[in-house]
Amino acid sequence: MGYIDVHTHLLPFIDDGVSSKEQCVEVLQAYQKAGFDRIIATPHLYNPYVTTRTANIRAMYQWASQEASQLGIKLYLGSEVYIGSGNATNVLPFMERFVLVEVDYYSEPLFLLNQVYTLLKRGLHVVLAHVERYRWFSTTSPTACKLRELGVHFQCNVDGVENHSAAKWLSAGWIDVIASDNHGDSQLPPRLAALLQRYQDVANRMNNLFISYDTIQ
């Protein structure tokens, strides 16, 4: 079994990720070379700074998943859903049950717990993206504790591990997933692979989390 990356922006012309089909293929080749066999495409949804359309996402996913499969990589369709003041109802869960969510970097969203609870009630597993980036969020914040109690999985970025902004989260044992948040960088796959080698406990957690659902699609 190869590595998995569950947070990427690799669908061309869709969001602020890769900007051409050539770049997409180049990055997919870098994943193959680094030993990855599963990638989740997580284009932004409801992000106030990046506009996306589900129909375009699906069409581009069809193309990219064929390119990936020629390289022996299974590309799944998911989404990175922005939770703000509005309701994020139309999400694209990957493996039919995981939804990656992101929030504002500088202030806590008013109805975060309610919205997370709504997703959980739908039977979805919630993965909170790049926890190390939110200035209002920490291992001691009541909201973080509540999200953990609710069973929300916490993800940190390769960058966050390398620059130590995720150190407290890692040492608290609250990181379930390390992912790249790759917007088109061919260097990120080997960097992620190296971290998954280094943080075996997180790699094991990821395997437990994602392998059991892998056969659904």
β-bridge mates for residue 8, sequence order: 41, 182
Query: In 24-144, which ranges are E strands?
Result: 36-41, 44-45, 74-77, 80-82, 98-102, 125-128
Instruction: Select the span of 90-98, 131-139, 173-181, 192-200 touching Fe ion (CB under 5 A).
Output: 173-181
From candidates 181, 195, 203, 209, binder to Fe ion by CB under 5 A: 181
* Secondary structure percentages of the chain, helix, strand, coil, to 5: 40, 20, 40
By beta-carbon proximity to Fe ion, the closer residue of 91 and 215 is 91
**With binding defined as CB under 5 A, does residue 132 bind Fe ion?**
no
Instruction: Take residue 67 and report the two structure tokens written for it.
Output: 């390119």
Q: Contact with Fe ion (CB under 5 A): which of 5, 80, 132, 176?
A: 80
Q: Which is nearer to Fe ion, 50 or 120 (CB)?
A: 50
Tell me whether residue 6 or residue 203 sits nearer to Fe ion (CB atom): 6
φ, ψ at 36 (rounded to 5°)? -90, 140
CB-based contact 182:9 (threshold 8 Å): yes
> Which residues, 6 or more positions from 85, have their beta carbon under 8 angstroms from its beta carbon?
109, 110, 111
The reply on whether position 5 binds Fe ion by CB under 5 A is: no
Q: Which stretch binds Fe ion (CB under 5 A): 20-28, 48-56, 76-84, 143-151?
A: 76-84
Residue among 69 and 163 whose Cβ is closer to Fe ion: 163
Shortest Cβ distance from residue 203 to Fe ion (Å)? Answer: 20
Min dist. Cβ of residue 70 to Fe ion (A): 25
By the criterion CB under 5 A, which residues form the site for Fe ion?
A: 80, 181
